[in-house]
Amino acid sequence: MSQPAAASRFPILRDPMIAVLVVATALALVLPAAGEARATATNVSNGGIFILFLVNGIRIRRSEIARGLANWRYFGPLTLFVFGGMTLIGLGFARLAAPILPPLVAVGFIYLGSLPSTVQSATSYTSLARGNVALAVVGAALINITGVFVSAPIFAAVGGGAAGEIGSDAIVRIGLILILPFVLGQVLQDRVIDRLAAHRESIAWLDRAIIGIAVYVAFSGAVEQGLATMFAPQDWLALIGLVLAMLGVAVACAWGLAGIIGLPRPDRIAFLFAGSQKSVATGAPLAAILFGATNAGFVIAPLLLYHLAQLVLAAPLAQRLASGTD
C-alpha cells in the first residue's frame, strides 16, 4: 500500500508528529536518560525549547495578532472555553481518575485542560470541514500565545501545583525559556520571517524534533520512577477510556457553545477544532520546565493519548461537517 493511500485510509498517518511521539516514548522505555545523561538531555531539551519558541515568535505575524484581537465575538468566548471551560472539564476527569490511577497521572487531566489549542491540526481540519480557515489560524495562534502566559498559573490555581514546583523558580524558567524567546522572535520578525518561510518544511521537522526530545526526557524520568510497574493493563484501559470521554465532552461543549453564542457555521467549525484540540507542542515543553524529569512523564500521559485520539476523531468529524451534517 502506498503512503498516500495508507494516509487516506488511516487519517492518523497524515501527522508525522505521531511517529515522532511514538519513537520518543519507545526510546525512553528501552533506553531512558538516567543519571548524568538525564542532566545532559534536560539541558539539550531546554535549549531546544528556547529555539522552538523563538521560531514561534518569528512566524506569528503581529498583524495576525491584531486582527484576531479585534474579533472579540469569536476570540473572547474561545479563550474562556479553552482556558476556563476545558480546565474545569479536566478537573472533573481528574477527580474521576484519582481513585484508580497514580496521582500524577490524574493531575495530568487538569494540566491537559489548561493547555492551549494546537494550531496546525485545528487549521487543517477546519479547512477539511469547510470552516473559516483564516479565523482558525488567527484564533489558534492567539490562544497559543495566551497559553504561554496563563496555562501554568491556571493549572496551579485549580489545584495542580502540588505536581510541580510552580513557584518563583518555575516562573523564572518560563520567562527565560518560553516568553523571552517569543518576544525576541517578535522583535526580529521583520528581518527573518521571509527566510524562515522559505524553509518551512525544515522548520516543521525542527519543531517535531524538539518536541520529541522533550517527550523523551519526560518519559525517561517516568520510566526511572517505575512507570511500567505502576500501570496494570486495566489501568491503561481506564486511562484511555477517560481520555476518550474527555475528548467527547470537549467536542460536544465546543460545538454547543459556538451555537449558543450565534456564530455562523464556518466560524462555529473553526471554534470546534480550536476549542477542543490541545497542543502537545506547548504541553510537552512546558511540562519539562514545570515538573522536572521525574514527574513530567506521568503528568503528560493523558495529553499524549488525547493528542492521538483527537487526530483519530478529527478527520471523520471534519468530513461529516463538510457534508453539512451537524
Quick check: 12 pLDDT over 60? no
Quick check: 113 pLDDT over 90? yes
What per-residue confidence (pLDDT) applies to 283?
86
Highest mean pLDDT among 116-125, 217-226, 269-278: 269-278
**What is the C-alpha separation between 56 and 204, in angstroms, rounded?**
11
What per-residue confidence (pLDDT) applies to 325?
66
Quick check: 149 pLDDT over 50? yes
Angle CA 135–284–136, to nearest 5: 5
**What is the C-alpha separation between 136 and 266, in angstroms, rounded?**
10
Quick check: 303 pLDDT over 80? yes
For residue 270, the one-letter residue type is A
Determine phi and psi for 165, rounding to 5 degrees.
-90, 75
Highest mean pLDDT among 100-114, 158-172, 297-311: 100-114
- What are the cell numbers at 128? 477539511
For residue 164, the one-letter residue type is G
Mean pLDDT, all residues of the chain: 83
**What is the C-alpha separation between 273 and 20, in angstroms, rounded?**
22
Determine phi and psi for 114, rounding to 5 degrees.
-85, -5
Highest mean pLDDT among 69-83, 190-204, 233-247: 233-247
What per-residue confidence (pLDDT) applies to 108?
93
For residue 188, the one-letter residue type is L
Residue with cell 508528529: 17
What per-residue confidence (pLDDT) applies to 166?
57
Task: Read off the DSSP letter of residue 11.
Answer: G
pLDDT band at 95 (very low <50, low <70, confident <90, very high): very high
- The pTM assigned to this predicted structure is 0.80
Q: Write the CA distances from 199 to 178, 192, 203, 318, integer angstroms.
A: 22, 11, 6, 29
Exposed, middle or buried, 196 (CB in 10 Å: 0-12/13-18/19+)? middle
**What is the C-alpha separation between 302 and 125, in angstroms, rounded?**
22
Q: What is the mean pLDDT of residues 127-147?
A: 83
Rg (CA), the chain: 19
Q: What is the mean pLDDT of residues 264-288?
A: 89
Q: At what angle do helices 86-97 and 103-114 cross, to 10 degrees?
A: 170
Q: From 1.10.10.1100, 3.30.565.10, 3.20.20.70, 1.20.1530.20, which CATH number describes the 15-322 domain? A: 1.20.1530.20
**What is the C-alpha separation between 92 and 53, in angstroms, rounded?**
31
**What is the C-alpha separation between 11 and 125, in angstroms, rounded?**
11
What per-residue confidence (pLDDT) applies to 96?
96
Is 112 in contact with 282 (CB distance < 8 Å)?
no
Higher pLDDT, 230 or 247: 247
pLDDT band at 249 (very low <50, low <70, confident <90, very high): very high
Dump pLDDT digits (tens) for 56-84.
788 777 777 776 677 788 889 999 999 99
Strand stretches in 59-103, DSSP E? none
What per-residue confidence (pLDDT) applies to 36?
77
In this structure, of 130-134, 174-178, 187-191, the range with the lowest mean pLDDT score is: 174-178
Dump pLDDT digits (tens) for 15-42.
677 788 888 888 988 888 877 787 888 8
What per-residue confidence (pLDDT) applies to 1?
44
Higher pLDDT, 18 or 242: 242
Quick check: 302 pLDDT over 80? yes
In this structure, of 99-108, 207-216, 246-255, the range with the lowest mean pLDDT score is: 207-216
Count of alpha carbons within 13 Å of 139, Cβ hemisphere only? Answer: 34
Exposed, middle or buried, 3 (CB in 10 Å: 0-12/13-18/19+)? exposed
Q: Report domain extents, the chain.
A: 15-322
Dump pLDDT digits (tens) for 203-226.
878 888 888 888 888 878 777 777
Q: Write the CA distances from 66 to 73, 139, 155, 193, integer angstroms.
A: 14, 11, 27, 17
**What is the C-alpha separation between 28 and 256, in angstroms, rounded?**
40
**What is the C-alpha separation between 115 and 152, in angstroms, rounded?**
8
State what percent of residues in the chain have pLDDT above 90.
26
Quick check: 2 pLDDT over 80? no
Quick check: 161 pLDDT over 60? no
pLDDT band at 165 (very low <50, low <70, confident <90, very high): low
Q: In sequence order, which residues have a C-beta less than 8 Å from that of residue 80 and are 6 or more positions away?
A: none
What per-residue confidence (pLDDT) applies to 3?
46
DSSP string, 183-209: HHHHHHHHHHHHHHHHTHHHHHHHHHH
